[in-house]
Structure 1
Amino acid sequence: MSVTPELLHTLAPTGKLRAAINVGNPLLANLGKDGKAFGVSIDLAHGFARLLGLEVELVVFDAAGKSVEAVTAEQADFGFFAVDPVRGAGITFTAPYVLIEGAYLVKDGSPLKDNTEVDRDGHRVVVGKGSAYDLYLTRELKRAEILRSPTSPTVVDTFIEQGAEVAAGVKQQLEADAQRVPGLRLLPGRFMVIQQAMGLPKGRGEAAAAVLRQYVEDMKASGFIADALVRHGIQGASVAPAQA
């Protein structure tokens, strides 16, 4: 991959490659006890910086919406996002690098047995504010009411506090919460599949976007992403197919 000095400046105008990291999605990014971020997203960020011969600066956020805002406003040079048309107004996405399932969680005593029963009058569904699930369900739910928790990891706590009928989010996060909080269960299957991609500000142009797209395809093809999922013990996320 050939990157001219001009294109390098477009990708990293400050001289450092600023990566927006959302630790609200624990499948891809977390904070260690030392306060440092780790995970698949961080591995990809460092890899992209190495490719370009630049130093990486991690800009860490606790919610997806904040990460989206930072990249859209060019306060970060790229980030890791679930692909969504609303976000696409200010961000150019690569093809997805991993696929993640979204699921519903209810209380054990709930009459709900199936995902198709969620969108009913009187049902309140808790999602993380600005998350891919929030954006998707805002479009798709016609009768149920959406309640928003501050971040995705706080969805189940908000669900309990509000006495809501349904919680929605990353399947593995909800499974962990169901083990943490007694009396909860997941509805079978999934209600959506998240396409997790990398992205950069729309204004950076097609040449810059092409560099990032090629990087993602190379990381999928080389086995880097599959190895990172194994290395970080991630279950429930799969490597996305190669872009045609």
Structure 2
Amino acid sequence: MPAIKAEEIRHECIKPGVLSVAINLGNPVLARQDAHGELQGLSVGLAKKLASALDWSLEMHAYSTAGKVVEDSTRRCWDIAFLAIDPKRAQQLSFTRPYITIEGTYLVAESSPWQNVDQLDQAAITINVGKGAAYDLFLTRHLNHASLNRLETSHSAIERFLAGEGDVVAGVRQPLQQAASVHAGYRVLADSFTEIQQAICTPRGNERLFAFISGQITEWLDSGEVARMKAAEENPAF
């Protein structure tokens, strides 16, 4: 298939010559806002790089949860988004190769008897989750006995657990570890219930835009550029 050129997809986008990007702040490992409200993180860096490759302007829209990003996918609110790959989402979104894989696990009380994730699928256990997050979708499909307590965001799921609501909280490993590091009496389980593959996506039907984005991320993954960007995020120069 011939390479897709930027001028061929200008009018597939919401605003010709502008790449409109949904940035999910529900996962601070990949995107966050600094004290001045500026967006930062690996997803933000990739969005800027894609806009530069197109030689277009960049318009970023911050979302508090992945679920809200998915809801807006049918409303022409954005051209591309950064989300975890999930079969349910794939019914309306086209996903590129994953650019990073992160773990879903549990934060539990230090005094609890649980040592691995398999022990938590019990009828008496309530698990706090961020509504619509990738790990919420995964646990919805795979849990047989435990109950899910769906909160507005991943952050509120953690905060409500620390306040005494729910028996455990599910989430991405790094934010859970951060919570455990600043709140005595909690620990993160060593194993994980899923590996969450993060990718770039477009609403289904935008084939040429998707082909361009997919081609770019594949090129940057194969060349090691994404790995270099990830390393720079994890080890910033001082």
Alignment check: 8 A CA contact 1:20 1:70 kept: no
Is there any run of 5+ residues in structure 1 with no aligned partner, and where? Answer: 235-244
One-letter amino acid matched to 2:115: K
- 1:228 Cα offset (Å): 1.6
Greater mean deviation of Cα atoms: 131-140 or 218-227: 218-227
Cα distance change on mapping 1:5 and 1:178 into 2, 3 Å: same
Correspondence for 2:222:
221
1:126 aligns with 2:128: yes
RMSD of aligned alpha carbons: 1.5
One-letter amino acid matched to 2:108: V
Alignment check: 8 A CA contact 1:20 1:71 kept: no
Greater mean deviation of Cα atoms: 207-216 or 91-100: 207-216
Among 104, 107, 125, the residue aligned to 2:106: 104
Distance in 2 (CA, whole Å) between partners of 1:221 and 1:4 is 21
Deviations 1:7-46 (A, max 9, x none): 2221454431100001111111010111010110011101
Distance in 1 (CA, whole Å) between partners of 2:103 and 2:220 is 21
- 1:215 Cα offset (Å): 1.1
Secondary structure at 1:88's aligned position in 2? helix
Correspondence for 2:193:
191
Secondary structure at 1:80's aligned position in 2? strand
Alignment check: 8 A CA contact 1:73 1:201 kept: no
TM-score w.r.t. the length of structure 2 is 0.93
One-letter amino acid matched to 1:58: M
Cα distance change on mapping 1:11 and 1:218 into 2, 3 Å: farther
Secondary structure at 1:136's aligned position in 2? helix
Deviations 1:43-86 (A, max 9, x none): 11011111111101000011111122223422100000100011
Secondary structure at 1:99's aligned position in 2? strand
Greater mean deviation of Cα atoms: 90-99 or 162-171: 162-171
Deviations 1:60-115 (A, max 9, x none): 01111112222342210000010001111211111111111111111011121221
Deviations 1:136-175 (A, max 9, x none): 0011111100011211122211113343111111101100
Is there any run of 5+ residues in structure 2 with no aligned partner, and where? Answer: none
Alignment check: 8 A CA contact 1:104 1:186 kept: yes
Distance in 2 (CA, whole Å) between partners of 1:116 and 1:45 is 37
Q: How many residues align?
A: 233
TM-score w.r.t. the length of structure 1 is 0.90
Cα distance change on mapping 1:135 and 1:227 into 2, 3 Å: same
One-letter amino acid matched to 2:107: L
- 1:119 Cα offset (Å): 0.4
